[in-house]
Every structure is written in C-alpha cells, then in structure tokens.
Amino acid sequence: MRGALQREVAIAGIGLSDYPVAPGMTSEQHAALAFRRALDDSGLTKADVDGFFSAGDALPHFEDAENLAEYLGIQPRYFDSTFTGGSAFEVLLQHAALAIAAGECEVALIVYGSDARSRHKRGLGAKGLAPTTYLFDQPQSGPRRQGNAAAFEAPWGSSIISSYALAAQRHMYEYGTTSAQLAEIAVAMRYNAQFNPNAMYRDPLSVEEVLASPMLADPLHRWDCCVVSDGGGAVIMTSGERARDLKTTPVYVLAAKNAATHYNIAQMPDYTQTAAAMVADDVFRAADVTRDDIDTLQIYDSFTITVLLQLEDLGFAPKGEGGAWVSDGKLKVGGALPTNTDGGGLSACHPGMRGIFLIIEATRQLRHDAGDAQTPNAQLALVSGSGGILSHIGVAILGRQP
C-alpha cells in the first residue's frame, strides 16, 4: 500500500458463491464455496492461508467469524472479525493490507457467506428492519441492557428503508434532488445487470417504472431499494512479490481508509453527507492518483441515495449536484465512469452485507476479465463500502500496477 508501508500488497484470488438464490445452502456453505473457488483462482492452497478476516454473517453476529474460521478449518496466526455492516469488507481489506505489509501474515483470506434470502424468504419491503429492531426484539427483562437504538428509535417504527428515506428527503430539500434523478441510479444498475447472467433482475428498467413502483417510505420507491439475495464471496491477498508468481494477474491495493460518523440514524450529523467525505482526499493522496485517473467505481448501493451521497462525498460529483451528475448515463457500462458493473445490490445481489462483491467486481475489471461488462483497459478502480445506516464508510483504490 502506498503511503503507509513499504511493502506491496495484492489481491491474488477471488471467488463467488452461487447467487442470487441458492435454496438449501447455509451461510457457511456459501463461504466455503467462495473460499474454494478463490483458492483455485489463485493457485494457493488452504495451508497457505495464515490470516483470517471476516465479519461473520449478519446480526446477531457475535462470534460468527470465529465459527466460520473453525468451519473452514483455518487456524490463523492473525485473526480479525471487524464488523461494520456492509462496509466491513473494505475495512477488512485495509486491515489485511496493513497486516501483510507489516508481516503479521502472508496470505490473508477475506470471506463472507449468507443465506439471507432462502432462510428468511423476505423482501426489504416486508421486513426491512433496522438494527434497532433486532434489539427491539430482545426480551424486555433479564441481564441484557437495552441499547440506545431500542430506547430512542425502535418505539417510533424506524426501519432500514425509512432510515435511508430520512437522508434522501433532506438531500432533496437542501439541493432540489428529484425522485427521477435517484431513479437514474437504479436504471443504470439495471442496465449493467444485463451483462451479469447471475443478476437477480436483468430486464430493462426505466425511470418511469421506478417512479411508478410502490412508495415504501417517502421518497424511496420499491426500485430505489436493493434486492435481498443469497450469496458469498472470498478474496485472497498476499504480498505483491508473491502474487506475481501466482496463477492470475495481481491487483494491487494502492490505498484504503475507513471512517465512521454515527450508528443510529437519528444521530447522523448531516443527513446529506457520509463519512466518505472524511477520507476521500486522504485515500487519493495515499494512492497518489486523482479522481480523473479512476476508470471504474464499485459503490455500495443498498439504496439509490446511498450511491448519490458517496459519489458526492468522494468528490466525483460536486456536493448537491449528484442528481444532475448521474442523469446522463455516466454510471452505465460504456458510460464515462462505469459503476457497479455487475448490476450492484439494486439489481444483482445483496445478501445482507455486500461489501465483498464490490472488491471482487473491481478485481475482475482490473484483470480485464469482466466479459461484456468490461471497462476498456481499466487500470484503476475505486471501491466504496457503506455500512450500518450510512454509518461507516470503507474506501479503497485498487490498481493494475503497483
């Protein structure tokens, strides 16, 4: 990683599990399948893995990562179970890069699996419960202390969708952003999904169709919201030196940063700005590249507003002008800045925490292995994961050259 430490770090293997729907597979099986595919991709063996990085499944996540390491039969000499929700995999990528650069481990596995759709058979519209509501469901007596979310948000019926809606509404108020502009983001992701045979939805989607879809929490319509899928992913990282001797084209980690602003949506300091604004300049400086150098973006898209805020906070779109900025097809495959070239969470897959899919798709793009969704001669990709309720952001810049 440039800037921080003197040793090159690269992604040496990637693997996806089966998605968007895999009835009968457990979360652990998704993780195991993705892991085995990532090993095959890299040419490394299981015995080479000495660093384990996982955020577990989803809430409740206590000790899920330890359980997963045991299931996979990995006894790592470096273990990290950082959980920041969907952004966890970008944070874990940063941690793995630092650990490899510092010599704490040689081969790091970042791994995730979830059977969210098949287990719960739920849609976000039906049971899009905020973390608050998980706490809300806890028994009201006994030793477990009730969290602040349960006391100050759950009684009001806060949900995941309504939490993001609070941010979207404020952005519209301050900047005049329109529902049609947000819809352009969903339309672009759907356009990109046509190139991904595994995407949950591949039929063309129009702005009019987004606006005609049911309003779930003003101003967010059904198609402003991500899908709920099954799926898993694995990323194997090692030193640049070692990666160059392996099977596939190394993809280098040039810089990675993370930051957080709040946990509960009622505590968001500014509903129009995420923690991406805190790290954007730093990450470009550390990678020694500019925004104009970036060829493709992989941006967490739990909701259309999630994308809009990150594009502004990362500095690609001027603050407040993201709505107009996304409305000319830039985000589509073949556009000026192809974004979520696998169809994203809005159309392809979102098994609860989507951050690892961003890293995997960026790696495919930089290996020039993305098929019909390939960004011509892509050299640099930016990945931005969002976790919690716009709470945590993890940003990484990946490159084809060290």
Candidate residues 24, 73, 143, 214; the one interacting with other proteins per rule CB under 8 A: 214
| Among 159, 273, 306, 384, interactor with other proteins by CB under 8 A | 159
**Region binding other proteins by CB under 8 A among candidate stretches 12-20, 150-158, 312-320, 351-359:** 150-158
- Nearer CB in complex with other proteins: 4/59: 59
CB of 128 to other proteins, least distance (A): 6
Q: Is the peptide bond before 20 cis (omega within 30 degrees of 0)?
A: yes
Min dist. Cβ of residue 64 to other proteins (A)? 23
Amino acid making up residue 138: Q
Which of 319, 375, 390 has the alpha carbon at shortest distance from 87? 390
Q: Minimal distance in Å, beta carbon 148 to other proteins?
A: 6
Q: How many residues belong to the site for other proteins (CB under 8 A)?
A: 41
CB burial of 232-255 (b: ≥16 within 10 Å; e: otherwise) equals bbbbbbbbbebbeebebbbbbbbb
Binder of other proteins out of 191, 252, 271, 300 (CB under 8 A)? 271
Given 23, 60, 103, 157, the residue binding other proteins (CB under 8 A) = 157
Using a CB cutoff of 8 Å and minimum separation of 24, what contacts does 277-281 make? 277/313, 277/314, 278/393, 279/393, 279/395, 280/313, 280/314, 280/315, 280/395, 281/315
140 binds other proteins (CB under 8 A): yes
Q: Binding to other proteins by residue 143, rule CB under 8 A?
A: no
Q: Which is nearer to other proteins, 246 or 260 (CB)?
A: 260
Under rule CB under 8 A, residue 154 binds other proteins: yes
Which C-beta is closer to other proteins: that of 170 or that of 319? Answer: 170
The sign of the dihedral angle between the CA atoms of 1, 355, 135, 157 is positive
In terms of DSSP bridges, do strands 107-114 and 78-80 run parallel, antiparallel, or are they unpaired? unpaired
Q: What's the one-letter identity of residue 32?
A: A
Q: Which is nearer to other proteins, 78 or 223 (CB)?
A: 223
**Minimal distance, residue 383 CB to other proteins, in Å:** 29
Token pair belonging to 255: 């810089």
Task: Say whether residue 153 binds other proteins (CB under 8 A).
Answer: yes
Q: Does 270 bind other proteins (CB under 8 A)?
A: no
126 lines the binding site for other proteins (CB under 8 A): yes
Q: For residue 53, give the nearest of 29, 88, 16 by alpha carbon.
A: 88
Sequence letter at residue 77: R
Beta bridge partners of 381: 296, 398
> Does the protein bind other proteins through residue 162 (CB under 8 A)?
yes
Check binding of 179 to other proteins (CB under 8 A). no
Whether residue 378 contacts residue 397, with contact meaning beta carbons closer than 8 Å, is answered with no
Which residues fall within 8 angstroms of residue 359, CB to CB, at 6 or more apart?
A: 11, 14, 89, 90, 93, 110, 233, 235, 298, 383, 396, 398
Query: Binder to other proteins among 27, 84, 133, 339 (CB under 8 A)?
Result: 133
Binding mask 240-269 for other proteins (x = CB under 8 A): -------------------------xx---
Q: What's at 392, amino acid-wise? A: H
Which residue's CB is nearer to other proteins, number 148 or number 198?
148
Stretch that binds other proteins, among 17-25, 135-143, 311-319, 328-336 (CB under 8 A): 135-143
Site for other proteins in 56-95 (CB under 8 A): none
Binding of residue 395 to other proteins (CB under 8 A)? no
Q: Is 176 in the site for other proteins (CB under 8 A)?
A: no
Measured at the CA of 382, the angle between CA 51 and CA 362, to 5 degrees, comes to: 65
Detail the DSSP E strand segments found in 165-295: 215-217, 220-221, 231-239, 251-260
By beta-carbon proximity to other proteins, the closer residue of 249 and 267 is 267
Cα 225 to Cα 1, 6, 142, 161, 305, distances in angstroms: 34, 41, 36, 8, 9
34: which 2 tokens?
């993705």
Question: Which stretch in 21-29, 101-109, 142-150, 319-327 sits in contact with other proteins by CB under 8 A?
Answer: 142-150
Interface residue list for other proteins (CB under 8 A) = 122, 125-129, 133, 136-137, 140, 145-146, 148, 150-159, 161-162, 165-167, 169-170, 173, 214-220, 265-266, 271
